[in-house]
Structure 1
Amino acid sequence: MFSTIKSKLYNFFKLILPSSYSELGVFTFFILSYGILGWYIALDYRIIFDSRIPWDAYFSFDNKAIVMTGGSFERHPLSYYFFNWIREIALYISDGKMNAVFRLTLAWFSNLAVSLSILQVFKYLKNIIKLPNYISVLIILFFGVFSTNILLSFTPENFTYTLFLLTLFNHYAAIKIKNNKKIPTISLALAGITIGGLTITNIAKVFIPVAFEKDLFKNWKKIGNAVLRVTLTCVCFILLYLNRINFKYENILNKTNEQYEKFSNVKNTSTWDMIFSYFFGGNILFSDFIIRNKHNMKGFHFKALLMDVYSSWIPYFFITILITLICWSYFKNFKNKLVQIVMISFFLDIIIHCVMKFGLHTSFIYGGHFVFVYPLLIGWLFHVYRFSPKAQSFLIATFSILFTYLATNNYTRMNDFFWFLNQYYQ
């Protein structure tokens, strides 16, 4: 019994933490890079957490509201409990004060979550797709400078931890599917509760890999077992959710309708431009910034930084190339179960934000739900052409150019972000 528990704990930490020199190098590089950025922002500026500003200080993130309450229960049903721990640990380290040390602690929690997320993607590229290290590093550097990862690396938000949990579960599920094993009930339930608890719509993504377990639809016993595992996960999640709201289930529908109306009726910007500039683009390539006057509904006025649509043809061209490569990878790997799992998960977000238009005008903040799909599908594209040196060279050259433009653009926009901080948040 003891040896079994010891083995499970060993495998758990081996899955989460670096287990080779290359993985340690990737993790160390990003935790130091993001850590320096977060350290500077937390100590010199008050934007990470300002008790007067509950939401929207930069790019519609709800920093204070999330830290204090975990967010609205209808969208983030169990995050209240998670952020209670985060907040209390940060207050303990800062001696009960919501000061620079408090902000720094929040930033380092975010940094750790994002760095571990990038590590999970690297592990997937290296261990699941079996890419050479130099290609995996190229892809992971490209992924590392995505706008979503940069922002979430110092932002205390649900999306920060959702990114980690989703990358971790995708990697774990890929290991199981690749080895023709089923996902255990406890693992599925924990994934459903944690991932769905932080953002309720993401719980559907937990069940996608189950549908791709070996010979599932050829054996009624296996189908029954899968249905039982999914049902138990749903029951556990629903009971915890209802307990969170004191079993006043009618509040869920009322609040959900309110949120949908609030975040789905947007004017002034065309739908296609929001899809390109915000959903597909803003999570990767910073667009232009605009400053707005905001207030906290209690008399305090402040400046907020938001993303505008792209103003040049170059970002649209960049995003078009990237989407084309992603689609190319999907069609070339169409019969691959692991690719289907990743892509179906992505389709769920496309339906929610682009079809149903929920939060489409601020979809650049939802990147933690799906942005990891890009490096994984890019990795599978390299895998398809592993025996074609010319195709490999073309892909390496293409992504080197894309990476150069992405890094240059996002570095320039982060300079604009710091100008905003210097003007209004010192």
Structure 2
Amino acid sequence: MKTKITDFFKLVFPSTYSEVAVFLFFIVCYGILGSYIAIHYRIIFDNRIPWDAYFSFDNKSILMTGGSFERHPLSYYFFNWVREFSLFISGGKMDVNFRLTLAWLSNIIITLNIIQVFKYLKNIIYLPLWLSLLITLFFGVFSTNIILSFTPENFTYTLFLLSLYNYYAAIKLRKEEKIPATALSLAGITIGGLTITNFVKVFIPLIFEKDLFRSWKKFGNALFRVAITMICFIVLYLNRIDFKYQNIFSKTNQQYEKFSNVKSMPTWDMIFSFFFGGNILFPGFIMSDKHNMKGFNFKGLYMDLYSSVIPYFFIAILLILISWSYIKNFKNKWVQIIIISFLIDIVIHCVMRFGLHTSYIYGGHFVFVYPLLLGWLFFTYRTSSKMMSFLTLTVAILCTYLLVNNIFRMLEFFWFMENYYQ
């Protein structure tokens, strides 16, 4: 038991000097940002604003209710803990200390998410330290990580859990070990419990376990582990809704109709600017007048489509790089796991069009795939100095542009808060 606890802490938290350094760097950067916003503005949590204060995040709604049961079946229980802990720290008041606690919880979780990606690059792909640091820095300034670092939402914790599980599963495959039923069930309950569409992603690594389809015993064991996970999840889900399972279908259909029929923007542009772009490279922002249906009016901020050719060019280069990585590593089981997971989100948002007009907020479900695929691309050319130099220069240029653009857009975000959320 002591060994398992030690292994768990080594898995989740920094365990080497380089990991501690990365952790401290990002927690200071994100911490300063989140603390300043929490202390000087009320945008992180305002009792009067249940949703859509910025980028369609539902901070108050999620904290108070856990979100809709059909999309976030078990998050009610989790956010009860988050809310009660924050109230304990703030002395029962939803004031600046309450906001500060929420911001720091998000800060820590997103920083740990960064650590999981760094560990994967270093311990699974075996990239040199300097290259792992470059890709990690690139990932760290993604718009999704910046925004979620102070946002108390499902996506914040989902991003961490997905990156953690991918790293854990990669370790198991590296050691040619199976994922235990306990770990699989825990992953299913936490990841699927926060967002149900991610539930299936938990089972993807099982497909690539050694000799799974060559041994009836191993295949049967895998089915048993899947069954245990599904039973645990379904029972907890049904208990959450008092076993009124009919509500799941009616509510799910309502949600799909509500978030899948937006025709104000070209589909291709929403895919490029929001799904592939907005969660990495901030576009411009647009404001709208909102109300809480109880007589209080407020301003909401949304991301706009890209307005110049440079952001499209940036995203196109990044997509070329990750596609290149997939082609070169087609037979790599770790890469296949990443891509299959990513395809689930592409189908949901780009093909089925669910929430496509605000798909930038769903980056918490998949943005970690970009640095991992970049890492595997570098791995492919590790013996070619010319290609390594070319790829390093390309990523360095992308990282520089990303940093400058996202800092500029965050200044606009601060202008918005200064004018409407003091």
Distance 1:180 1:351 in 2: 30
Mapping 1:294-309, distance limit 5 Å: 294-309=290-305
Match of 2:143 among 147, 150, 166: 147
Measure the CA separation in 2 of the matches of 1:95 and 1:19: 34
SS in structure 1 of the partner of residue 111 of structure 2: helix
Q: Which residue of 2 aligns with 1:116?
A: 112
Q: Distance in 2 between matches of 1:268 and 1:304?
A: 18
Q: 2:410 aligns with which of 392, 410, 414?
A: 414
Match of 1:274 in 2: 270
**Is 1:180 the counterpart of 2:166 in the alignment?**
no
The one of 88, 96, 105 equivalent to 1:92 is: 88
The number of residues matched between the two structures is 422
Shift of 1:336: 0.4
1:157 to 153, 164, 189: 153
* Separation of aligned partners in 2, 1:232 and 1:18: 31
2:99 maps to which residue?
103
Provide the C-alpha distance between the structure 2 equivalents of 1:334 and 1:178, rounded to a whole number of angstroms. 17
1:206: how far off?
0.2
Distance 1:30 1:79 in 2: 26
Equivalent residue for 2:347, pick from 335, 351, 376: 351
- 1:2-38 CA distances to partner (integer Å, 9 max, x unpaired)? xxx0000000000011111000000110011100000
Distance 1:317 1:92 in 2: 48
TM-score by length of 1: 0.99
What SS does structure 2 have at the residue aligned with 1:191?
helix
Asked if residue 218 in structure 1 is aligned to residue 214 in structure 2, the reply is yes
2:131 corresponds to 1:135: yes
Matches within 5 A, 1:26-425: 26-425=22-421
Partner-residue secondary structure (3-state), 1:216: coil
The amino acid across from 1:305 in the alignment is: L
CA RMSD of aligned residues (A): 0.4
Distance 1:228 1:348 in 2: 23
Per-residue CA deviation, residues 166-205 of structure 1 (Å, 9 max, x unaligned), is 0000000000011111000000000000000000010100
Alpha-carbon distance between aligned partners in 2 of 1:112 and 1:251, rounded to the nearest angstrom: 35
Runs of 4+ in 1 over 2 A off after TM superposition: none
Matched AA of 2:218: K
- Three-state SS of the structure 2 residue aligned to 1:11 is helix
Q: C-alpha separation between the residues in 2 aligned to 1:152 and 1:136?
A: 22
Letter in 1 for 2:128: P
Residue deviations 1:291-346, cap 9 Å, x none? 10000011100000100000000000000000000000001000000000011000
Mapped partners of 1:379, 1:248: distance in 2: 46
The CA distance in 1 between the partners of 2:389 and 2:22, in whole Å, is: 23
TM-superposed deviation, 1:267 = 1.1
Distance 2:67 2:342 in 1: 23
1:332-362 CA-to-partner distances (Å, cap 9, x unmatched) read 0000000000110000000000000000000
Distance in structure 2 (CA, Å) of the matches to 1:403 and 1:291? 28
Q: Distance in 2 between matches of 1:221 and 1:360?
A: 42
The alignment partner of 1:292 has SS state of strand
Cα displacement (A) at 1:397: 0.4
Deviation at 1:268, TM superposition (A): 1.1
TM-score, with structure 2 as normaliser:
1.00
| Matches of 1:178 and 1:349, distance apart in 2 | 26
Instruction: State the secondary structure of the residue aligned to 2:213.
Output: helix
Partner amino acid for 1:29? F
Structure-2 separation of matches of 1:139 and 1:348: 24
Aligned-partner Cα distance in 2 for 1:368–1:302: 26
Query: What is the Cα deviation at residue 390 of structure 1?
Result: 0.3
Distance 1:238 1:407 in 2: 43
User: Aligned partner of 1:422: which letter?
Assistant: E
Q: Partner amino acid for 1:10?
A: T
Helix, strand or coil at the partner of 2:347:
helix
Q: Separation in 1 of the partners of 2:34 and 2:105? A: 10
Cα deviation code 1:232-277 (max 9, x no counterpart): 1000000000000000000000000000000000011000000000
Task: State how far apart, in whole Å, the 1-side matches of 2:192 and 2:367 are.
Answer: 17
Gaps of 5+ in 2: none
Deviation at 1:419, TM superposition (A): 0.3
Output the CA distance in 2 between the equivalents of 1:402 and 1:18. Answer: 27
2: CA distance, partners of 1:263 / 1:337: 34
